[in-house]
A and B are shown apart, each in its own frame.
Chain A
Amino acid sequence: MSVVAFERKSATGAWSESELNTIVAALNAALGPAKGREWETGATESGDAQFYLLDSLPDQACELCVSRIGGRYILEDGSGRLLFEHRSLPLVAQHARAAVSSRSWSLVARLVLLSFTVRHTIQEKVEPLLIEGEELLVHVAPQLAIFA
């Protein structure tokens, strides 16, 4: 009789290779060389496995953290906000991927908003000065022409 060896899910201790592969595969797009992100693993003092997605240089602060406590996977952001928790790692990994993309879009939205603010400020403050200068020129030019 042959026995098929199924890989057991780790309930405690370090990440198994298959668990790490699941998380890294889900975050693959966020981990590309152009993004500058890295990841590391660690553990709580009770030995619960943790996976940290780190922001780009120079700060390399934790953006997201996946932890395994017992058979439950916990997804938190770098400020300790609980984003999602479930017994299914693939599901938690999908939520991690969504959280990273929403953070990226939030950054893009902030940059767009900043560019609109800068443009609006220029229109409000600088353009009236230019118009004022033009008006002054219109008034002064005929008088200058007399002396020409």
Chain B
Amino acid sequence: MKRAKQQDVFTGRSPGQAVPEARQLRKLAGDWLKLRRADAELSQADLAARLGLKYYTFISQVENGFSRVPTEIMGAWANELGIEQGAFAKHLLMYYEPELHRLLFGAESK
């Protein structure tokens, strides 16, 4: 599997400005997705091809924490990573909609 290369991060954010919580949670979701993809021994390009995406740039967008896994391809994404669809959606909900996750599954459930 290919490994990520380091790149300097440029930003249009004012210095000292905190990263909002929603973004931090999306980044955690992205890190988890990256680990699960590594477990499945897939590169970003492999996963994109299996999901029918022309480029793998969107996989990177999600794994870097800038976008969410869209609901319409969540099931397919889970299948390609070898994770049960419900468990995959439930885990992502914990990052994407933490309050909804708490209401549905309680504070302890992960």
Interface residues of chain A, those whose CB is within 8 Å of chain B, are 13-15, 20, 24, 31, 38-50, 52, 54, 57-62, 65, 67, 69, 74, 76, 78-80, 82
Interface residues of chain B, those whose CB is within 8 Å of chain A, are 2-5, 7-13, 20-23, 26, 43-45, 53-62, 64, 66-68, 70
Say which residue of B11, B22, B62, B70 sits within 8 Å of A58 (CB atoms). Answer: B22
Contact B7 A46 (CB under 8 A): no
Q: Given A45-B60, A65-B57, A69-B55, does the pair A39, B11 have CB atoms closer than 8 Å?
A: yes
Contact A57 B20 (CB under 8 A): yes
Contact A43 B5 (CB under 8 A): yes
CA of A134 to CA of B103, assembled, Å: 47
CA of A58 to CA of B10, assembled, Å: 21
- B58: A residues at CB distance < 8 A: 65, 76, 80
CA of A92 to CA of B45, assembled, Å: 22
- A47: B residues at CB distance < 8 A: 4-5, 7
CA of A59 to CA of B2, assembled, Å: 30
20 A-B residue pairings within 8 Å (CB atoms): A24-B12, A41-B7, A41-B9, A41-B10, A44-B57, A46-B2, A46-B44, A47-B7, A49-B7, A50-B57, A50-B64, A60-B20, A61-B26, A62-B66, A62-B67, A69-B55, A74-B57, A76-B61, A78-B66, A80-B67
Say which residue of A13, A52, A76, A78 sits within 8 Å of B7 (CB atoms). Answer: A13
Contact A80 B13 (CB under 8 A): no
- A59: B residues at CB distance < 8 A: 20, 22-23
- What residue of chain A has the Cβ atom nearest to residue B71's Cβ? A79
Contact A20 B57 (CB under 8 A): no
Contact A67 B57 (CB under 8 A): yes
